[in-house]
Structure 1
């Protein structure tokens, strides 16, 4: 409330009742306007004649459901690990977070991080011509593990081998990573013998389980490119 009409913008002259002071004096409220001080605007400030000082109600101000600025809203959204705005308002209302202003937080746009997390990569174009011209020409393989839960036989590693031409997949189980060279050698010898077809190229992630002296010598002997 103020008695200085010059401080109020957009003044509306209307009788809104009376105000009772501590000395039991009743004073009429003759209108209201907006008080502007720099970047701060307080709406609906009452005009009361005869006041010696401007009066400000902290309780009414806190209960006015004021909105945070977009900068404030998104700042707290990031500070709280991109928390939903409904939960931010709940935390503010119940004063659970120290330092969180008691304001209304409004989402005025989509979160850029949320949009990025939901984005999808374009699919790879399908090949008109296969990379390989026959079965076993090209094998893709990888070793998965260490798996937390062992198999019935106590094995915690899985080697997956895919034939590029037929997409046929083999799955081999290993106790440990260092079994890879011998298991792979036995598999390649067996599959070439059974299918009567040579393995020409092997593609791996070139980890130490595939890139070692044992397999290097075997690939060289069999004429397999790695």
Structure 2
């Protein structure tokens, strides 16, 4: 961490305000460097995405597109099998077309994370329309109270909102934000969160938050997938389930808009779902202190973003750091006399050999007294001989018999000679 090196070589006295300012400056540097890299990549993508084809179409004779992209009905010309340029799955295209006076952009979005969240198997591309700024101003100028206004879009594959205040049912932050590239002057939009909008008549789940959108969108595809029926007739769109009408929208120009009153949601589940990102950020900046330390710093006026009711932070790093392994169970079996338990093992062959050709070492250790005997052997076949010699020697020395001999059950111990002995 480069800031720690600057602090060590700095001649200033270390105070909390000084350390906090250095940490914030370092974070701003990192964010600015990431944004510069992303802007360079976006410029390269725009140059490739919006380049104009300058040659003539072989189908209609017009300039600006290829024969494979031509919307005019193909002529009855002979075509060699396999030469037709088919649609490539890796390059999604817009599936909604409207008049330029009404539509301002068409966008495609794809992400593996949001597909897993929706638990669906359809394509991940998202196509939707955005209203112009003038029409949006006319629609929203009469907005009063705690309401949310939606534009229903038959070309959108997901629901969208442009303000997080509509997530009264909770939300989560996407680990990998979804980039949204529009065809309107190369505008870049990013979907960073997904949540739930709870109105007084229904609940909308899996709604994407896209900052910078001019209007909120309701997807006809998502509505029908929930078992509802969407009908467009007489300048209105009616959403119903069986004989019951859920809601209806009136047309505004050539678009359908409706305003719904948000439901006041104030429950423990909603508070638990709402993440306090500022608390977690300061917890990491200050070296993972306890909750009491954050509260003390807030009282002293050093930080002002920590909420008193949500100071309890579930930090994965802190949990792993406090984990400890249980102690091993003590061996309660202990010996109480000499030769009650003998440990024996054979080691070898050892190189170089001794001057008289010994290559193996045979050890005997008494568990009670730790009395140890070592024998040098030329081969494994001598093990039974020295085992019997050791048994006779300790029996004569301690005037008692061996109760148990513990070994690794090698073939040098597990043989007919010792078993018969």
Report TM bin, short chain.
0.3 to 0.5
- Larger relative contact order (C-alpha < 8 A, sep ≥ 6)? 1
TM-score (norm 2): 0.23
